[in-house]
């Protein structure tokens, strides 16, 4: 078994770019892209599985071409195509980043797109052990660090919390303490008062935990004053 693995690695990392070697490198890069895309798909990101597979496979193919041309025709710079891959992936990754209200989404997907291209390039260059280690490290980071962040940094969604009470006799300190007891972090406060209508408007910019129970929050806020409206939006 060890000899078989050693023979396979010697074959796939060979400096001689025969057709079987090129095809095997392409298959390995496609598999790496599949696993990266699968991780994003498991985190409910749409359309990223095919994207990662295509990016990793195409980067591998372009890297093979950049090595094959100088070997075959004795002219050409292998680094030129690789540099263009890096530039192109930068634009593609930027397109995956979206701003929704106060939140920025797609950063992890953009990062894994970059990693897919890097792994594809490494595979195309025959650096299979490096590509495998990079893939494993990336998957460990994506699966384990998300649990770490959820446990120690639960307040990660930035939202506007709008409250309207019947009168202005509202204890703001008690109100902020109630929000803080539920893991809601207040970053900004804005309030106004309608004297004729006897209404008190207050808007918080807050960081909200993913597991916030809005029903319990509403019930507790009613004990502070006559709550007419509660709205939480991006």
CB neighbour list of residue 203: distance below 8 Å, 6 or more residues apart: 160, 161, 162, 163, 189, 190, 191
pLDDT at 183 over 70: yes
Which one, of 185, 51, 189, lies nearest residue 120 by Cα?
Answer: 51
All domains of the chain in start order, with CATH: 2-152 (no CATH), 155-233 (3.30.70.260)
Edge to edge, the sheet with strand 227-233 lists: 185-194, 199-209, 155-165, 227-233
Q: How far is 70 from 77, CA to CA, in rounded Å? A: 7
What's the pLDDT score for residue 120? 92
- Is residue 20 very low, low, confident or very high in pLDDT (cuts 50, 70, 90)? confident
pLDDT at 76 over 80: no
User: Looking at per-residue confidence, does 155 or 198 come out higher?
Assistant: 198
- Is residue 70 very low, low, confident or very high in pLDDT (cuts 50, 70, 90)? confident
- Is residue 200 very low, low, confident or very high in pLDDT (cuts 50, 70, 90)? confident
- Is residue 71 very low, low, confident or very high in pLDDT (cuts 50, 70, 90)? confident
pTM: 0.66
Task: Give pLDDT tens digits for 94-105.
Answer: 777 766 555 567
What's the pLDDT score for residue 180? 83
């Amino acid at each position: 078994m060890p000899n078989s693995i050693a023979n396979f690695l010697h074959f796939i990392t060979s400096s001689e770019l025969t057709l079987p070697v090129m095809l095997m490198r392409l298959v390995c890069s496609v598999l790496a892209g599949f696993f990266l895309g699968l991780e994003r798909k498991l985190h409910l990101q749409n359309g990223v599985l095919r994207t990662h597979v295509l990016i990793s496979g195409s980067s591998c193919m372009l890297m093979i071409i950049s090595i094959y041309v100088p070997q075959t025709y004795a002219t050409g710079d292998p680094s030129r195509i690789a540099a263009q891959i890096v530039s192109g992936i930068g634009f593609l990754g930027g397109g995956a980043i979206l701003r929704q209200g106060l939140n920025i989404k797609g950063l992890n997907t953009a990062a894994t797109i970059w990693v897919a291209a890097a792994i594809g390039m490494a595979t195309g260059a025959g650096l299979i052990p490096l590509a495998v280690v990079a893939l494993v490290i990336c998957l460990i980071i994506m699966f384990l660090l998300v649990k770490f962040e959820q446990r120690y940094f639960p307040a990660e969604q930035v939202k506007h919390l709008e409250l309207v009470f019947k009168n202005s006799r509202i204890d703001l300190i008690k109100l902020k303490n109630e929000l803080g007891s539920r893991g809601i972090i207040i970053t900004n406060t804005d309030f106004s008062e309608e004297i004729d209508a006897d209404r008190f408007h207050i808007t918080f910019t807050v960081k909200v935990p993913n597991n916030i129970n809005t029903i319990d929050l509403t019930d507790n806020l009613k004990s502070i004053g006559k709550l007419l409206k509660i709205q939480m939006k991006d």
